[in-house]
Structures are given as structure tokens and as C-alpha cells.
Amino acid sequence: MKRVRRLSWFALAGFLVLAANLVRMQVFQNEFYRLRSEKNRIRVIYLESARGRILDRSGSALADNRLSFNCSAIDREARPFVEKSSAILAPILGEDAGALEKRFYGSRPGAFQTILIAEDIGVEKAVAIEERLDLLPGFMIETRPQREYPHGSAAAHLVGYAGPMTDREADAVELYGYSYSDWVGQEGVEKSYESYLRGFSGGLQIEVDNRGRMVRALGVREPQAGKDVQLTVDAKLQVFLGRLLESRKGSVIVMELAGGGILAMDSAPSFDPNSFASKRGRKEVRRYLYGEGSPMVNRGIRGQYPPGSIFKIVTALAALERGRITPQTRISCAGEWVLGGNSFHCWNSAGHGPQALTEAFAHSCNIYFYNAGVSAGIDAIFQKSVELGFARRTQIDLPEEKKGFVPSREWKKKRFREPWYEGETANLAIGQGYLQITPLQALVMVAAVAADGHVFKPHVIDKIDGIRVAPERSRTVVYPARGWEAVRRGLEEVVSSPTGTGRLARVPGLEIAGKTGTAQSGQDKPHAWFVGYAPAKNPKVALVVFLEHGGRGGVSAAGLASSVFKWLSESAYL
């Protein structure tokens, strides 16, 4: 009896403790446990918005989206079962279970505390995981729009790419509605028009059972897709330029003279922006970032180089404006010219003989332009350079454009505490010395000659969300019409003359004007240039060809320009 009585007291005591705890949880701590229960019952799924498409002038996609499937996990729900879940997922994903565990513990939770386990796994793997979700507590399949670049490296520098934000970027845009897991434009149009291309993400609130399975949807905020951006670019020409520059270093840019719209801009070597669109391409990304040839650099707007003989256009305009030469002025070239006890040489050591302006352009005679430049003076050349767009950004709607450099008398005095010498003017007159320009600046310069002094503000944008965007107006360099005409006649002779340095740029049935350039590079092979426009009498399109260490401009650059002009002619642009 005593044992029974003792057991009864123990049972009563246990019952009283249990009752007290029930009262505590259901009465005094009701709100605390109710909220915890709600959190276990209600889950929020992040719905990422699709970025706007980037289209070429005819509506062909340069950047698009496709649906991708990711395997993710909710940190607090999945953590107790990570080892078991990884063993189930490993054969499906084709990965090591230990690697999946390491990824879980080493990853930072993204939006709504989800951890990305496997990205862009494909529909078959996604279905296989969905069928086993009851064995994978806290794991889920998420869908997201995946950025896709149909033309790959052919339009990479122009279009750019989208990628995950860095911590620094996340802090900078936190006030603009971004979350840490959002992707942003990193280069090219993707970056320039980020505010239009980005959408607004949404979310789905659902009720789940004790095994994490969806019971019903409680509410949804639909994601808003970004706006489509349409460019002035021709995708077919862009691809064609990519093939022309394959295995080379350099840039080719083509611009319409109707308003300064860029038809194509290619830089080589290039990169595949699809590698940045998912983690699967990260090994390629490292090769691009640290590989030989700087494939991430858009040489068209960021490369700065001596222009060589294409700068003789500026020298001629400066000398004509100051009245130091006329189109009829003849200067004799014996292959060498002496100034201040120093010898300056023509590229043709035998000399060209007496040369007027048109002949000097056709033969790219250094001796003629040494004389023209020195007679015009450094101040006139500097002023004309700036007027035509050098030493300043063209303000194209692409990021991180460089502005190049044109030396001046004041700059040298400040930099070296020395006066400017006439020998330096002679060097500058043929595009050498301290001078540095970008290929886009060279294009803007030759386009101004073709368009009677209209210095275009080049642009790639045409429409945003179907609404045409008016390009900013060009500015005009006030200059006598006879001066423009004299230089244009010289540029026509460069291509049409049997002895012209640009004769390899010819296209049967098409009149072309242009100028070749061969610029010292500090290495064995010089840089090769060609700038020009067509048709010569009624210009519609201008282009620049720049080949880094490409040899002679009259050979490699002019020959490549011929291929581009031929394509433009056959495609009804000329």
C-alpha cells in the first residue's frame, strides 16, 4: 500500500507540473508561441523579376531571359537535416555530398533567408528533387529568370552583362529598393540603362504543413518586369565585325551620320557574357579577368593610343584656318627635313617630291605635314583638336569612357617646367608624341569632316519601352566651307588614287573617303588605323578601324575597312 501511495503522489506531482506548464504556455506565453507557430506555418517565397530585354534596331534580342531552376534551402528549417538531405541530393545533382554540405554552411542566406545550393540545374533535375521534397526538410526548387546573350562574345562590350552585386554595390543602392541577392548591370548597356532594365521583385506567401509542403497560397505580390531597351545597333553587322576581328586586337565602330547612332561597336579580344550569367561559368570569368590580352576592356572607348597619320586631318584644318597653307600650297619632300638641327623623316625615304594638300593626303607625306603643323603652331593645333572632340569624352551612353590626351604649351610647362619646342609640334602634326586618343574620338572627328563640322554625340539608345528617345543634338565647329571641301578632296584621293595609301579600302561602285594611319607603339609592330566615310559625295556612314600592333594602316586596317564598306553597301546602308 505504501508503494502504491508513493507512486500516486509521484504521478500527481508530475500531472501538476505538466498542468502548470500547459497553463504557462497557453495562458501566460500564448502570444509568444502563437507567433512561433505562425512562422513555422507561413513561408514567403521570393519571386525575382525579369530584366528588360536589350534589342537591336530591328527587334532582334541582344540580351534576353530564360527560366532557370535553382535548388535552395531555408536555413533554420534545413540545418538539422543537412547531412541526410545532402546524401539524397548528391546523386541527383551529380555532386559530392560533402561539397553540398560545405556549400550550405559556407553560403550567406539571400532574400528571405534562402541559401542557394545548386544553380540552373535544368528541368529534369528540378522535377527529381520536387518528387523527394518530403524527404528534404527546408529544401525547395526556386525559379528565376536567367539572363541570356544570344550572340555571345559578338556584342559583349556593347551590351555588357548582369551579375550579382558586390557588398559595396549593395550598400550603394540599398535606398533604391535593391536586395542583396539582386543582380545588376555591370558593363555596357546593361549598366548604362540599369534603372530601366531592372524590374521590381515580388513574393508569394504560402501556408505549409509540418513537413514543409505547401497547403495553400495566402497572398502574392506580382513581380514587375523591367522595360525593354532598343538600340540603334544592327545585330547582323555586330556579328560580322566580331568575325572580322577574330584573333586580332583592336576595335571597329560604325556610325550613321543621320544622327550619330552607333550601328555596331566591336572590341577584340572579347568575352562571353553568358559566363557571368550563372556560377557555372565562373572559371571562364577568372580567365577573362586575368587573362592575356585584356578581353574585358572595350578598346573602342577605353583604349587610348597615338593616332599616327589620321591626325593629319586636324593639322591640315588648323593650318588652313590660320592661312599658313592653301589647297594649292606645294611643299617639296626629299624624304628628310631638318628643324633646329634635328632631322625629321618621311615614311618614304626616297621622298615624294613637290606635294599639294590633296597629294599630301593621298601619300600621307610626313614632310608636308611637319611644315604645315609647325607653321600653324601648337596653340592652333591644340584648339582644333579640342573643337573636333579630342581631350574630352564624346559622352556616349556607355560607361567608363576615357577622354584621351592632347598636349599643350601650358601643360608641358606645368608638367616638366620646360618650354614647348617646335620639334614637338612637328611630332604632334603627324599624330605622335604625347598625343593619346580613343577609336571613338577618331570616328567623331572624321564624321565631323564628312558632316561640315557637326561634332556628333554618339549614342546607342533608340527606344525605351517602345518610346523613341530623342538623341542630344550635335554641336557645330564654325569653319569655312572651302576648308572642309579641301580636306574632303584629299581624303577621297587617299582611297581613289592609284598611289593612295588607302587604296585597299576600295569597294567597286562605291566612292569612299578616308585616311590611313600607322602609329608607333613602342613595340616591333605599330598600331594600324583607318578612318573614313561613304558615299564620299553624300556621306551616310562613317567608321573607324583600329588594330593594336596591327602593322601598316594602309594594309591591314584599310583592307578590313573595305570588308565593312562592302557589307554596308550590300545591306542597303549606303
Q: How far is CA 321 from the centre of its chain?
A: 38
Query: Integer distance in angstroms from the first to the last C-alpha of the chain?
Result: 115
Neighbours of 498 (CB within 10 A): 6
DSSP assignments along 438-465, one per residue: -HHHHHHHHHHHHTTTEE---B-EEEET
**H helical segments located in 69-186:** 75-78, 82-93, 97-106, 123-130, 156-159, 167-173
Amino acid identity for residue 426 in this structure:
A
- Residue 515 has φ and ψ, to the nearest 5°, of -145, 135
Residue 272: partners with Cβ closer than 8 Å, 6 or more residues away? 149, 152, 153, 156, 281, 284
**H helical segments located in 211-328:** 235-244, 282-290, 299-302, 312-321
**Please, is 546 exposed, middle or buried when counting C-beta atoms within 10 Å of its C-beta (0-12, 13-18, 19+)?**
buried
Distance (Å, whole) CA 130 – CA 141: 7
Residue 27: partners with Cβ closer than 8 Å, 6 or more residues away? none
Q: Would you give the DSSP letter of residue 215?
A: E
Closest to 64 in 3D by CA, of 73, 52, 76, 75: 52
Distance (Å, whole) CA 493 – CA 499: 9
Q: How far is CA 528 from the centre of its chain?
A: 23
Residue 355 pairs with which residues in a beta bridge?
Answer: 331
Amino acid identity for residue 98 in this structure:
G
Q: Would you give the DSSP letter of residue 365?
A: -
DSSP H or E segment with residue 496: helix 481-496
**Which residues are the active-site residues?**
309
Q: What share of the chain is helix, strand, coil (3-state, %, to 5)?
A: 45, 25, 35
Core vs surface per residue 387-419: b (16+ CB within 10 A) or e: bbbbbebbebbbbebbbbebbbeeebeeeeeee
